[in-house]
Amino acid sequence: MRKLSIEERLGTTKFSVDEGMPHIVLDKSICASCKTKACVKACPAGLYQVQGDAVSFDFAGCLECGTCRVVCLPKGLKWEYPRGTFGVEFRYG
């Protein structure tokens, strides 16, 4: 069995993305000045990526665990669960 990329892994999970309604919103200026960027390493969906000083983020593929919310010490993000019926839908769990 080979290693799978995070995209391949997330491809096995069912999502109903709430297009245009991100449930996590970053404050780009706070992210740019953050040296730790723990979100990049801790997010189990690998949705945070370093781009120079900045952090890019895509809310589609979010597993709704809340890890980024907890590891973000500079409080650079607003975090909510997606609206009812939207977001991840585990078929196994």
Residues that bind other proteins (CB under 8 A): 1, 3-4, 6, 8-10, 12-13, 16, 36, 38, 40-46, 63-67, 69-71, 73, 80-85, 87-93
Tokens of 24: 């996590």
Nearer to other proteins, 52 or 84 (CB): 84
Q: Quick check: 81 and 23 in contact, CB under 8 A?
A: yes
Count the neighbouring beta carbons within 10 Å of the beta carbon of residue 57.
20
Shortest separation between residue 59's beta carbon and other proteins, angstroms: 14
Question: 22 or 46: whose CB is closer to other proteins?
Answer: 46
Q: How far is the CB of 56 from other proteins (least distance, A)?
A: 15
As measured in angstroms, the least distance from the Cβ of 66 to other proteins is 4
Q: What is the DSSP string of 45-76?
A: T--EEEETTEEEE--TT-----HHHHH-TT--
Helix (H, G, I), strand (E, B) or coil at 68: helix
